[in-house]
């Protein structure tokens, strides 16, 4: 009868774990003629009640005790059932638990989960047990504890499975491949929750549909043959195909792998960009193939064409021998044609180590991309560093070369010197810096003398003269601002900005900047509101540079907010950083403008920006300075509804 009752509890699949345990404890109280039943968990020297059945509600789930104070410590010490009919007449009366609850009868045993003691299953009563516990009682108690342990093991396994499924879902969510499960008839069984291009653009629900319902007949038949071949061979089948989606051709590379239940998993990756890149070089490659093919008849003409290019070129045969190199190749690497042509890459190990900074990588390039039968990879492009005879940066482009009859001729390597491009960027920055420095000195003199004249230090001036001089002063100030911006950009690009970090009071800086710009705000009847948290922590920053950031943001808000508008500067703190927001009711920005807002020289195209003027450097400087501090800057805006610029800076 007892076993039948236990089986009924175990077989109650409609019940959850907690309900099953509660029913088990209730059954145990009835079977053993005891009032209280508990499942407790041991954690170190603590004993916590996880589940309980108690008519008087004296023992509640969540209650914790010192393990040594409980009767259950004895069951754990013995590693088996402990049965006491009258605790007052046993050594258990010394346990503090007896003084607290006055439990006179006790029957308990350990619960083991995955080979480790989890806790105990115990039953007790305030009254002594009228008869002695039998060995059958103890054996049934052990059986109940074994069932509880197995249920706990199953529950832990479910938790691990759920965690594993959550990780898998997160992994899928980060993937951009299309992943499907299809049966042998081409019917979609599952679609992985990835973020692919295909399903978003086609916009159909695949599950339950067949290939013929989703694709054109010819395309569906091609896919179905791939599925059947994968199932027949029990090997992965690879294919590439083109689909027309929203009027444009998209290319995909698919791997179709068989699974155990007569289904396949279809993983399709969008390779449209790669295909388009390959298409862009097809004409060049075709021209080069034609030139090489004609070289047998007019070798000198083809060499002249190759030598006229500004890139170094080398054609390597499938057996890794150099077939030809052009003049620029020899100039770049300081080797004669006769030193290279006809030799294998392995024979040039010494030269490779002398020429390239990563010689081992360069030596393995040809082996990685081709073998005796043909290329195992298509076109590739990368940057390599040359260290002899001249230090250079080279862009390496490589592609397989075939005859018109598809015979594999070898692989073409093209080296383009991009050192000058880097040097031009550096010279541009130096020129901007030099010009900015040279402008500063005369501008300082101009401003100084204008101020002297305006202050009438050299004599009285008329009202018209004052107006003219104020115009000159305003434009001189604009030139100074432009010069300073150019200098800051130059220093930032050169990595010459050195921050004088110290603890800085953000609220004090905000108030100071607000006070400085308040006359301009009042001139446009703009209302400025400060919303500063009362207990802002200090930040670790260069106070002058953060002042420059705040001035730039508030000045922009002033410029692009119409007369009578509102501007709010808010400062709050987060766990590790301080957030400053400058919000205005200005003209706002479109999404495409926001994407380019922090790039140098970018200015939104609208009437207001044309009237305000500017160089488009301010926000680029703001972003660079904030990032130098280890912070971040962002913008949220809606055209016609204003903008909010957010700056986060680390706490001191």
Q: What are the strands, taking DSSP E only, across 234-338?
A: 237-245, 248-258, 263-270, 312-316, 322-325
The residues near 533 (Cβ < 8 Å, ≥ 6 apart) are: 571, 572, 573
Strand 105-113 and strand 577-584: the pairing is unpaired
Domain CATH for 389:
3.30.450.20
Indicate whether 119 and 8 sit together in one domain.
yes
Calculate the average pLDDT of the chain.
85
- pLDDT band for 1, please (50, 70, 90 cuts): confident
Q: Does 127 fall in a domain?
A: yes
- Beta carbons of 532 and 510 less than 8 angstroms apart: yes
Q: Report the share of the chain in percent with pLDDT over 90.
A: 41
- pLDDT band for 268, please (50, 70, 90 cuts): confident
Query: How many other CB atoms are found less than 10 A from the CB of residue 369?
Result: 19
The pLDDT score that the predictor gives to residue 247 is 80
Q: Lowest mean pLDDT: which of 65-79, 233-247, 462-476?
A: 462-476
Query: How many other CB atoms are found less than 10 A from the CB of residue 183?
Result: 16
Query: How many other CB atoms are found less than 10 A from the CB of residue 295?
Result: 18
Q: Which of residues 476, 492, 508 is at a domain's end?
A: 492
The pLDDT score that the predictor gives to residue 147 is 92
Indicate whether 460 and 335 sit together in one domain.
no
> 246 in helix, strand or coil?
coil
Q: Report the share of the chain in percent with pLDDT over 70.
A: 87
Q: Does the pLDDT value for residue 301 go beyond 80?
A: no
Cα–Cα distance for residue pair 70/51, rounded to 1 Å: 16
Query: How many other CB atoms are found less than 10 A from the CB of residue 445?
Result: 10
* Of 490, 482, 469, 476, the residue nearest 442 (C-alpha): 476
Residue with the larger pLDDT of the pair 435 and 354? 354
Average pLDDT over residues 404-428: 80
Q: What is the rounded end-to-end Cα distance, in angstroms, of the chain? A: 71
- pLDDT band for 583, please (50, 70, 90 cuts): very high
Q: Does 390 fall in a domain?
A: yes
Cis, bond preceding 630 (omega within 30 deg of 0): no
Q: Does the pLDDT value for residue 233 go beyond 50?
A: yes
Indicate whether 326 and 253 sit together in one domain.
no
Backbone region of residue 8 per phi and psi (left: phi > 0; alpha: psi in -120 to 50; beta: other values): alpha
Q: Is the pTM of this model over 0.85?
A: no
**Tally: H helices and E strands in the chain:** 22, 23
Q: Does the pLDDT value for residue 166 go beyond 90?
A: no
Q: Does 386 fall in a domain?
A: yes
The pLDDT score that the predictor gives to residue 626 is 94
Burial of 274 (0-12, 13-18, 19+ CB in 10 A): middle
- Beta carbons of 573 and 592 less than 8 angstroms apart: no
The DSSP symbol for 68 reads: G
Indicate whether 396 and 270 sit together in one domain.
no
Q: Which of residues 231, 255, 276 is at a domain's end?
A: 276
Cα–Cα distance for residue pair 192/207, rounded to 1 Å: 10
The pLDDT tens digits for 601-645 are: 787 766 666 566 667 788 989 999 999 999 999 999 999 899 999
Indicate whether 427 and 411 sit together in one domain.
no
The pLDDT score that the predictor gives to residue 372 is 45
Q: Does 285 fall in a domain?
A: no
Q: Does the pLDDT value for residue 168 go beyond 70?
A: no
Domain CATH for 78:
3.30.450.40
* Of 557, 552, 477, 547, the residue nearest 521 (C-alpha): 557
Indicate whether 488 and 507 sit together in one domain.
no
Q: Does 323 fall in a domain?
A: yes
Domain CATH for 594:
3.30.565.10
> 382 in helix, strand or coil?
strand
Q: Does the pLDDT value for residue 584 go beyond 90?
A: yes
Cα–Cα distance for residue pair 93/87, rounded to 1 Å: 6
* Of 651, 356, 314, 621, the residue nearest 485 (C-alpha): 621
Indicate whether 614 and 546 sit together in one domain.
yes
Indicate whether 401 and 482 sit together in one domain.
no
- pLDDT band for 578, please (50, 70, 90 cuts): very high
Cα–Cα distance for residue pair 314/362, rounded to 1 Å: 14
Q: Find the domain containing 62 and state its range.
A: 1-160
Q: Does the pLDDT value for residue 439 go beyond 80?
A: no
- Beta carbons of 538 and 502 less than 8 angstroms apart: no
Q: Does the pLDDT value for residue 25 go beyond 90?
A: yes
The pLDDT score that the predictor gives to residue 202 is 42
Angle subtended at Cα 166 by Cα 164 and Cα 172, rounded to the nearest 5 degrees: 105
Q: Does 92 fall in a domain?
A: yes
The pLDDT score that the predictor gives to residue 193 is 60
The pLDDT tens digits for 491-507 are: 777 777 888 999 999 99
* Of 335, 329, 337, the residue nearest 350 (C-alpha): 335
Q: Lowest mean pLDDT: which of 188-192, 209-213, 356-360?
A: 356-360
The pLDDT score that the predictor gives to residue 564 is 94
Q: Lowest mean pLDDT: which of 73-77, 111-115, 254-258, 449-453?
A: 449-453
Count of structural domains, the chain: 5
- pLDDT band for 432, please (50, 70, 90 cuts): low
Indicate whether 482 and 555 sit together in one domain.
no
- pLDDT band for 29, please (50, 70, 90 cuts): very high
Cα–Cα distance for residue pair 187/217, rounded to 1 Å: 14
CA dihedral for 48, 52, 56, 62, sign (positive or negative): positive
Q: Does the pLDDT value for residue 267 go beyond 70?
A: yes
- pLDDT band for 41, please (50, 70, 90 cuts): very high
- Beta carbons of 586 and 567 less than 8 angstroms apart: no
The pLDDT score that the predictor gives to residue 205 is 72
Indicate whether 644 and 503 sit together in one domain.
yes
Report, in this order, helix, strand and coil percent for the chain, each rounded to 5: 45, 25, 30
Q: Does 372 fall in a domain?
A: no
The residues near 220 (Cβ < 8 Å, ≥ 6 apart) are: 186, 210, 211, 212, 214
Q: Does 283 fall in a domain?
A: no
Measured in degrees and rounded to the nearest 5, phi and psi for residue 190 equal -145, 155
- The distance from CA 237 to its chain's CA centroid, rounded to whole angstroms, is 31
Q: Which of residues 492, 517, 542 is at a domain's end?
A: 492
> 27 in helix, strand or coil?
helix
Indicate whether 311 and 458 sit together in one domain.
no
Indicate whether 32 and 128 sit together in one domain.
yes
């Amino acid at each position: 009868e007892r076993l039948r009752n236990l089986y009924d509890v175990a077989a109650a699949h409609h019940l959850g774990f907690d309900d099953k345990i509660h029913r088990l404890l209730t059954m145990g109280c009835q079977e053993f003629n005891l009032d209280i039943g508990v499942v407790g968990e041991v954690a170190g020297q603590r004993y916590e009640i996880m589940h309980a059945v108690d008519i008087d509600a004296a023992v509640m789930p969540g209650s914790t005790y010192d393990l040594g104070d409980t009767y259950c410590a004895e069951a754990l010490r013995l590693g088996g059932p402990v049965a006491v009919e009258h605790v007052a007449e046993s050594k258990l009366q010394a346990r503090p638990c007896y003084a607290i609850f006055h439990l006179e009868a006790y029957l308990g045993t350990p619960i083991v989960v995955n080979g480790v003691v989890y806790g105990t299953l115990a039953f007790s009563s305030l009254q002594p047990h009228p008869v002695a516990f039998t060995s059958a009682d103890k054996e049934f108690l052990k059986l109940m504890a074994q069932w509880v342990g197995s249920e706990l093991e199953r529950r832990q396994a479910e938790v691990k499975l759920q965690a594993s499924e959550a990780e898998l879902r997160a992994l899928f969510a980060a993937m951009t491949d299309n992943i499907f499960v299809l049966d042998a008839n081409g019917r979609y069984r599952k679609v992985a929750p990835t973020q692919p291009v295909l399903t978003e653009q086609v916009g159909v629900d695949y599950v339950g549909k067949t290939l013929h319902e989703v694709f054109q007949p010819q395309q569906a038949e091609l896919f179905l043959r791939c599925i059947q071949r994968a199932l027949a061979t029990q090997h992965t089948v690879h294919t590439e195909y083109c689909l027309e989606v929203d009027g444009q051709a998209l290319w995909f590379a698919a791997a179709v792998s068989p699974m155990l239940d007569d289904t396949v998993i279809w993983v399709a990756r969008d390779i449209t960009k790669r295909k388009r890149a390959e298409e862009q070089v097809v004409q060049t490659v075709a021209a080069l193939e034609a030139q090489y093919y004609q070289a047998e008849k007019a070798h000198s003409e083809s060499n002249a064409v190759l030598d006229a290019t500004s890139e170094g070129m080398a054609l390597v045969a499938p057996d890794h021998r150099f077939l030809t190199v052009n003049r620029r190749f020899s100039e770049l690497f300081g080797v004669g044609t006769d030193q290279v042509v006809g030799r294998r890459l392995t024979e040039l190990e010494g030269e490779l180590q002398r020429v390239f900074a990563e010689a081992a990588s360069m030596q393995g390039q040809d082996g990685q991309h081709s073998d005796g039968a043909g290329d195992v990879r298509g076109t590739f492009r990368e940057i390599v560093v040359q260290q002899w005879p001249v230090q250079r940066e080279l862009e390496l482009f490589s592609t397989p070369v075939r005859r018109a009859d598809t015979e594999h001729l070898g692989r073409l390597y093209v080296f383009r010197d991009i050192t000058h491009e880097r040097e031009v960027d550096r010279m541009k920055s130096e020129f901007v810096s030099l010009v900015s420095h040279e402008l500063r000195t005369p501008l300082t003199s101009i401003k100084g003398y204008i101020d002297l004249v305006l202050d009438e230090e050299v004599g009285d001036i008329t009202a018209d003269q004052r107006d003219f001089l104020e115009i000159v002063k305003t434009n001189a100030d604009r030139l100074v601002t432009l010069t300073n911006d150019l200098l800051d950009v130059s220093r930032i690009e050169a990595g010459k900005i050195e921050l004088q970090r110290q603890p800085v009071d953000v609220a004090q800086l905000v108030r100071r900047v607000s006070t400085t710009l308040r006359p301009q705000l009042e001139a446009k009847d703009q209302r400025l509101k400060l919303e500063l948290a009362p207990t802002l922590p200090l930040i670790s920053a260069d106070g002058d540079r953060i002042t420059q950031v705040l001035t730039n943001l508030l000045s922009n808000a002033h410029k692009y907010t119409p007369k009578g508008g509102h501007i709010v500067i808010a400062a709050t703190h987060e766990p590790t950083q301080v957030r400053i927001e400058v919000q205005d009711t200005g003209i706002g920005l479109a999404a495409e403008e926001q994407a380019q807002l922090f790039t140098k020289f970018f200015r939104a195209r609208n009437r207001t920006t044309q009237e305000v003027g500017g160089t488009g450097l301010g926000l680029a400087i703001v972003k660079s300075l904030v990032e130098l501090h280890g912070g971040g800057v962002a913008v949220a805006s809606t055209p016609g509804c204003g903008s909010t610029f957010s700056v986060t800076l680390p706490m001191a």
